[in-house]
Structure 1
């Protein structure tokens, strides 16, 4: 998933910065968002006044030549991306990630790690008048579904789903599950006789698994079962071919 927090600039050296597939759509989305005042953004994005002002400026400066794009995997600064830790990637790591990793975005749709993006804040339930009042989820679904399925098929037809649950709404998810194999890892902590999801731990584990896949060039689904981090390990009794349950 895309993170809500983003860097102002990127100092990581990458092999190249590429153009997002849906850059034209992102520009139109940003121009529409730039029409809102800071108080309107505060309500629309459910943020405080400071964040609303920051993002009003971001959208107003979106097309400025001085606003240089950053590679997506380095631009987001949330817990997942901190654990991916792209600053120590080799050129080969970046190139492997570029082929295999996809990042969802409410502004850009779907991104490769080296796609150049600009700072923004947007939510999936935002409805833009110029798009007929449909949510960003519904706007992206017909644009992304076929493209996403084809991207997965190009790399062997297996998707390791490390995004948060709401990101399924960007696609016709039933079609995705029907047309490719989806493996969803889950990360939970033992609490008494049950399991509980601790959001920050789940995010960190997702980032660590992305890193694990990239660094080890994981191609076989069975190899995902060997993932372990800070006490999290696979619980075979709670896992299936399509659901991997990791427990601390």
Structure 2
């Protein structure tokens, strides 16, 4: 079973936790070229392209200006991202065995690096999938990555047993030829809903937290079967057999 989670918009380049080894991203050359293209834009350009305020635009302008410097620090992807999913995944207490298991069974999407393994050393950046790089690629970064990632992703999943447990956000499907993915492998997507006033609702922050907790649960317990995932519980969320099917594992909690 292979797990897929989304990258986060927030990152750091230092960590108290040190891993004994790091790997080179599979698409390092593509990432360097994309970063080079992004370094050509002004702060004002980045503010519009990344849909951010001026402070964040300045921060990322500096990141892209120094991206190719030999002095720029790198951090394994699992430690570099600091969004809600990664905070709940909490890799700072992982053993090296945990990291190595994650390296084999976990993938992280990235608009700059394409697809990352947990130990892949990366540099600070911020990017959106709908960004277009004039003169570099006709479409968005979503379409740019599809031809590069799809077959590799499918092969990766098949090598891990032929099942993808999809813990990423919905938009990340756009990085792949998703119809081809669905034709060739089994995809199971967990959903997290709150029962409130007789209705089911989705609270984004809970979903992100639960994705991180579930990823941690799988890695720490070396879970490799879908049936075992039905036992996952967190903050009252439990597997709901009546709402679930082979493609969607639904976990609910009373609101």
Residues 1-248 of structure 1 mapped to structure 2, 5 A cutoff: 1-248=6-253
Indicate the larger mover: 151-160 or 8-17. Answer: 8-17
State the 1:10 CA deviation: 2.2
- Partners of 1:173 and 1:22 in 2: CA distance: 20
Deviation string 1:89-127 (CA, Å, 9 cap, x unpaired) is 011100000000000000000000000000100000000
Report the TM-score, using the length of structure 2 for normalisation: 0.96
SS at match of 1:190: strand
Report the TM-score, using the length of structure 1 for normalisation: 0.98
Instruction: Please provide the CA RMSD for this pair.
Output: 0.8
Could you tell me whether the CA contact under 8 Å between 2:149 and 2:176 is conserved in 1?
yes
RCO (CA 8 Å, sep 6+): is it higher in 1 or 2?
Answer: 2
Structure with a larger share of its residues in helix: 1
The number of residues matched between the two structures is 248
Where has structure 1 moved over 2 Å in runs of 4 or more?
130-133
Unaligned runs of 5+ in 2: 1-5
Could you tell me whether the CA contact under 8 Å between 2:13 and 2:74 is conserved in 1?
no
Unaligned runs of 5+ in 1: none
